Structure 1
Amino acid sequence: MNKHFLWISALALLAFVGCKSLQEKGNDQFLSGQYQYAIGTFTQILAQDSSNLEANQIIAESYRLSNRIEKSEPYYRQLVKEEPTFNNYFFLGQSLKAQQKNKEAIEAFENAKSYTSDETLLARIQREIESIKLAEGIEDYWPNHVLVNYTELNTPGADFSPLLSEDFLYFTSGRQASGIYPATGTPYLKLFRTRADGLKVDVGAVQPLPEFRNEEGLNQGSLAISPDGNTIIYSRGNSTSPKDLPEVALFASYFRGAGFTQPVWMPVNEDETWWNSTPAFSPDGDELYFASNRPGGYGGIDIWKATRLANSDFGNPVNLGPTINTPGNEMFPHIAPDGKFFFSSDGHPGYGKLDLFVAENDESGKQVIRNLGQNINSKDDDFGIFFTEYPKAGFISSNREGGVGDDDIYFFEDKTPKPKIVNVLLNVFTKEEKADGSIADLPQTRVVLYGSDNKQQGGDFSNSSGRVRFTMAPDQDYTIIASKGGYFSKSIPYTTKGKTPDPATLIQEVTNITLDTTIILDQLILEKAIVLDNIYYDLDKAEIRTDAAAELDKLVKILADNPTIRIELSSHTDSRSSDAYNQDLSQRRAQSAVDYIVSKGIAAERLVAKGYGESQLIIKDAKTEEEHQVNRRTEFKVIEIRED
């Protein structure tokens, strides 16, 4: 990762008292960006004088500027002991933070406060401290994603920033290098590709990028390929030649008929002294995102966006703003198909150095930044995410411990356990009650299943044995409606809640649970009286009692299930009291029952209230109370069946 994190900064350093020739050599190396060589030179000076302030300063800064700040801790510790300054304490804190020595890092940042009154610097310190504290509460963005080192693809050198385009995997690597980059002491980087199908990479067919030649004596960095495959943009730089460009810049190669053009410097770089790298296209190819340290940003390196112009170049770069960019460094942008913006940063709350983040909108539409969590990030650099199947699979790059080499390519997959499937197989048996009270099968009955949303989920006719089978889901409510010509239709509620095992206790991927239920239909015969049981009234009163209402609700349901029938609801008294009194009382009772049913949503024109008094006694010479009760009854009969 350090190869793409470099820019040359000249420091005003004090002259050494001793080792002058060695000192001058080391200073020249440092000021020309040859940090690894400078480290080697000044290490020789420290071997003679371990407390040499200037030597500690050069080595500490060399590690920091080559993105190896975690290695600078002993040198900054010596500096704060001998020369406590804001910068020395601040960079010591960053070195400790990169190693996840959080308690010591906070202490160093707090000490840095004593050496500045600059509000901007104090705010930067507080942000670093808050970042450490916030990192302790980070949750995994994808809890079931598993990261694996692509060991067969990686080498002892650097391998990073993979992307897939037209069945080829492109990436940057230090393999086949012809020289050593003096800033880090590692091989120069080149661009490679090999065939791939998603995460399946042909590791035996890796070859240098065939579209154009890799250049010698400099680093070819991260690349981006336009969605149509006709434009390749990549970063290159770090040349030691005074005739070359002084800084890392973006170059573009275009497909023109027979092949790709030689790469050309892009106008979006604007200034040769600005660092520009890690490009990425928007999904439609009309925008180019990249990282730059140009003026107008919020920190060391920010992410910018340029728009495609009429001439197909990109121009008018715009900073993505302070929600994404911080006083730290942001780079390696990647835009997902759903618009979520992925990037790497060491300025947002994280685990050490560069972590992977996503910018997305919360429920209120506000853009928020989320760390992808510890199953993706580490205390080292984690960057360059690319999805082969969004968001379930893809690649990242990391120089975390335990890798094959320097920067390594890792792949990730969603390993969310497949849910155990429970199917509820419900056998619905349709039956009828015969005149003698026996129960018989009722074939060719139409049975329909509805979900809790009242949408039909199935329907069929019962077979010769009166059975229909439905497949249902666990923990759901349903309604089953059975209908057949010459019978009252009937609907019943059915629930699978509490009738299936807990999926967590199951071993098999699919478990079928078979349940049974029965629906008994009554014959629908015109003018046949049907007694409603338990319809009682208080003595000499017609008001509907609570217990009578419960029975009338059953009739309400019959009418709702059978919207084409019209009924007469009749009331009968016993023979005690006068004929006129009983006639009036029965009519009032019948009307009260009808009024109750209408109040439940049944149309009044479907009901006729009829009081018969004592004119239709079942037991004419009733003597006991039980016999009188048989005569006191409420009945209904179907008097009309309307066509649908």
Structure 2
Amino acid sequence: MKQHFLWIAVFTLFALAGCKSLQEKGNDQFLSGQYQYAINTFSQILEQDSTNLEANRVIGESYRLSNRVEKAEPYYRQLAEEEPSFNHYFFLGQSLRAQQKNEEAKEAFEKAKSYTSDEALLARNQREIEAINLAEGIDDYWPKHELVNYKELNTPGPDYSPVLSEDFLYFTSGRQASGLYPATGTPYTKLFRARADGLKVDVGAIQALPEFRNEEGLNQAAIAISPDGNTIIYARGNSTSIKDLPETALFVSYFRGAGFTQPIWMPVNEDETWWNSTPAFSSDGEELYFASNRPGGFGGIDLYKATRLANGDFGNAVNLGPTVNTPGNEMFPREAADGKFFFSSDGHPGYGKLDIFVAENDGSGKQTIKNLGENINSKGDDFGIFFTEYPKAGFLSSNRADGVGDDDIYYFEDKTPKPKIVNVLLNVYTKEAKADGTEAVLPQTRVVLYGSDNKQQGGDFSNTNGRVRFTMNVDSDYTIIASKGGYFSKSIPYSTKGKTPDPATLVQEVTNVSLDTTIVLDQLILEKAIVLDNIYYDLDKADIRPDAAIELDKLVKILADNPTIRIELSSHTDSRSSDAYNLDLSQRRAQSAVDYIVSKGIAADRLVAKGYGESQLIVQNAQTEEEHQTNRRTEFKVIEIKE
């Protein structure tokens, strides 16, 4: 029995010694950034002791620092239960949020509050809670855009950051890798290209970047190509060699006559220990956007903008500010031709990890940030947007659950249904008014169509049937003017609003709607009196009443439509006063009418006011009020037609 217990004791000592050896090995791996190796090592310890806090801490941190925080939940949960602290609850909340376990995440963030009094940490924690609440009300930025995995282009490893330049699609991929990246356990990445026409990529002829050679044993990624195609910038880093640069940095290659130069480290990196990556050119190539963790930012990784210098380098990097940047991470910038700025972030309200956002000006110079919505973003990482036809089509990258491998390339298209076309065909019939009150066809009448902007949309002479046809737009306002020698020209408003079917109810791609209208012209005869109906005055007064103004406005329109005529406007009274009084009253009334017309913009020299009193009675010896009213009238007649 003693021997049995001795054997157990010896075995335990060997096991503890083994654990200590594993722990030292794992810590070395963690401190050197070999996060996946550290995860593998400490997982062996957890198999023997699932409550080992150091193992839980290193694995949780390794997943978080290698951008896989969603896998860190069980380790931070164990830490929060055994050693509750702000960081443990905060990172647990981030892991839960990355999985869209929003209610559990908010509960973890609420618990984190009680373990710190640091205002900066509390503000960051509150921002996480608010981001979850705001994410619940996100609308799709492009509701009709559809996202599709480009399966033929992707591999089981990472494929991301596509950029189209000069009929080639350039992208980052883990294919042809010579080793694994210790931080994530995924293949080292290189730069590749394939011929492409918009979204159509020749996936059968993918080749390693020919402009310069990919290096072995490190990551080359996130390529940017200047608009003129003469400058290539990309991120290079994560080498395992102690002789190499300690951090990811931007490298540049220039086209010089026969080919591209060997890539060199860019001065815009500034410091070898700063992480710089995900470059993108502005639409004119004069500015370089990139992500960096350099000091003085607003969070982990911020976006910066550098300007092209006289020597061709980029410098004077400027942080894009707190509207774009957050205490989280912002990267993968993309400026659109219309000034909108697209980028990826895990700090703005979103669906979990990196989402794609757009910064746009609201018209007053203020920027607003909008999440592109769940038809573009997912609870995974979504990043690296590039437009082949802005904003209708392009590529992006994502490691969402339905992918082929790790990061995958997706393409998107605007699938908005083509609108049904409705052609409005308007038949305008021209007629003349006869003396007997009938109407007759008036051929060879000039008919002109004007849009709401007063620009001519068409014009022609009516045919022998008095018809002219115009093609018009739906829901639009027009003016139609008809003119013919010897007739008063006339303009009429015409609207197609409410006269066509709703396109949503149509089945055919093209529907023609035929409408009719008629314009009746009056003969223009010199010295022929034309009575203006309903021109009334109060007893013994010459003021223009509102009802009279309505009728006078019709005369204003006639004068406006016929700018070459000059008229006499006359007023007549009945016989129920002295001749002298009636003559004076009629003259005052005629002048009042002329003054009113002049106030509407008609030149005074086109009008003559004439009061005739009771000298031109229509009904002699009038007895009834109706007969007196017939005599009390206002008339006009054309007295001159200017050529």
TM-score normalized by the length of structure 2: 0.92
**Aligned partner of 1:605: which letter?**
D
Quote the RMSD (CA, aligned, Å).
2.4
Aligned to 1:240: 240
Alignment of 1:348-387 (within 5 A): 348-387=348-387
For residues 12-48 of structure 1, the C-alpha deviation after alignment (integer angstroms, 9 at most, x for no partner) is: xxxx886122222222222222222221221121111
Compared with structure 1, are the counterparts of its residues 432 and 30 closer, same or farther at alpha carbon in structure 2 (3 Å cutoff)?
Answer: same
Structure-2 residue corresponding to 1:148 = 148
Task: Give the Cα–Cα distance (whole angstroms) in 1 for the partners of residues 190 and 72 of structure 2.
Answer: 28
Shift of 1:71: 0.4
What are the superposed Cα offsets for residues 576-621 of structure 1, whole Å, 9 maximum, x if unpaired? 6665565455445444444444444433332333344454445557
The 5 Å alignment of 1:471-550 reads 471-537=471-537, 544-550=544-550
3-state SS of 1:272 partner = coil
Change beyond 3 A, Cα 1:21–1:469: same
Same amino acid, percent of matched pairs: 86
1:204 CA displacement: 0.8
CA distance in 2, matches of 1:295, 1:583: 95
Deviations, residues 261-283 of structure 1 (Å, cap 9, x unaligned): 22222233233222221112222
Report the alpha carbon displacement of residue 191 of structure 1 after superposing the two structures with TM: 1.0
Instruction: Pick closer, same or farther for the CA change 1:585–1:172 going to 2, 3 Å.
Output: closer
Instruction: State the match for 1:559 in structure 2.
Output: 559
Residues 1:49 and 2:74 are matched in the alignment: no
Q: Distance in 2 between matches of 1:569 and 1:307?
A: 73
2:12 aligns to what? none
User: For residues 432 and 617 of structure 1, what CA distance do their matches in structure 2 show?
Assistant: 29
In 2, distance between residues paired with 1:119 and 1:575? 96
Q: Which residue of 2 aligns with 1:299?
A: 299
Counterpart CA distance in 2 for 1:245 and 1:634 is 98
Query: Can you give the 5+ residue segments of structure 1 that lack an aligned partner in the other structure?
Result: 1-15
CA distance in 1 between counterparts of 2:493 and 2:312 reads 65
Which is further off, 74-83 or 38-47? 38-47
Give the Cα–Cα distance (whole angstroms) in 1 for the partners of residues 579 and 249 of structure 2: 110
Distance 1:629 1:266, change over 3 A: closer
Aligned residues: 628
Q: CA deviation at 1:486?
A: 0.9
> Cα distance 1:385–1:434, how it changes in 2: closer, same or farther (>3 A)?
same
Distance verdict in 2 for CA 1:265–1:533, change over 3 Å:
closer
Q: 1:25 to 1:591 in 2, by over 3 A?
A: closer
Match of 1:5 in 2: none
Deviation for aligned residue 1:228: 1.9
How far the C-alpha of 1:174 sits from its partner, in A, is 1.0
Deviation digits for residues 451-497 of structure 1, max 9, x if unmatched? 33333322222222221122222223322211111111112222222
Query: What is the identity, as a one-letter code, of the residue corresponding to 1:441?
Result: V
- What is residue 61 of structure 2 aligned with on the other side? 61
Task: Supply the distance in 1 between the matched residues of 2:40 and 2:216 (Cα, whole angstroms).
Answer: 24
After TM superposition, give the deviation of residue 562 of structure 1 in Å.
1.7
For 1:85 and 1:510, the matched residues in 2 are separated by 67
TM-aligned CA distance change 1:448 to 1:240, over 3 Å: same
Instruction: Tell me the alpha carbon deviations over residues 132-161 of structure 1, each in whole angstroms, 9 at most, x when there is no partner.
Output: 122222222222222111111111111100
Higher mean C-alpha displacement, 244-253 vs 125-134: 244-253
1:218 partner letter: L
Deviating more after overlay: 589-598 vs 414-423: 589-598
The separation in 2 between residues aligned to 1:544 and 1:248, in whole angstroms, is 85
How far apart in 2 are the matches of 1:552 and 1:256? 79
The aligned residue for residue 87 of structure 1 is 87
Deviation, structure 1 residue 112: 1.6
Q: What is the one-letter code of the residue matched to 2:433?
A: E
Shift of residue 432, structure 1, vs aligned partner: 0.9
User: Secondary structure in 1 aligned to 2:566?
Assistant: strand
Q: How far is the alpha carbon of 1:545 from its aligned partner?
A: 5.0
Instruction: Give 3-state SS (helix, strand or coil) of 1:566's partner.
Output: strand
Distance in 1 between the 2:138 and 2:560 partners? 56
Could you tell me how far apart the structure 2 residues matched to 1:141 and 1:501 are? Answer: 29
Moved more, 161-170 or 501-510: 501-510
Aligned counterparts of 1:40 and 1:385: Cα–Cα separation in 2: 33
User: Structure 1 residues 443 and 244, CA, compared in 2 at 3 Å: closer, same or farther?
Assistant: same
Q: Post-superposition shift, 1:535?
A: 4.0
| Residue 120 of structure 1: aligned partner | 120
Match of 1:323 in 2: 323
Matched AA of 1:410: Y
Between 146-155 and 285-294, report the one with greater CA deviation. 285-294
Taking structure 1 as reference, are residues 640 and 92 closer, same or farther at Cα in structure 2, changes over 3 Å only?
same
Q: Are residues 74 and 569 of structure 1, via their aligned partners in 2, closer, same or farther at CA, if it must alter by over 3 Å?
A: same
For structure 2, which runs of at least 5 residues remain unmatched after alignment? 1-15
The residue number in structure 1 matching 2:11 is none
Tell me the amino acid that sits aligned with residue 22 of structure 2. Answer: L
Determine helix, strand or coil for the equivalent of 2:515: strand
How much has 1:402 moved relative to structure 2?
0.5
Give the Cα–Cα distance (whole angstroms) in 1 for the partners of residues 144 and 499 of structure 2: 30
* SS state at 2:305 partner: strand
Q: Report matched runs for 1:367-516 at 5 Å.
A: 367-516=367-516
Structure 2 residue 265 is matched with structure 1 residue 265: yes
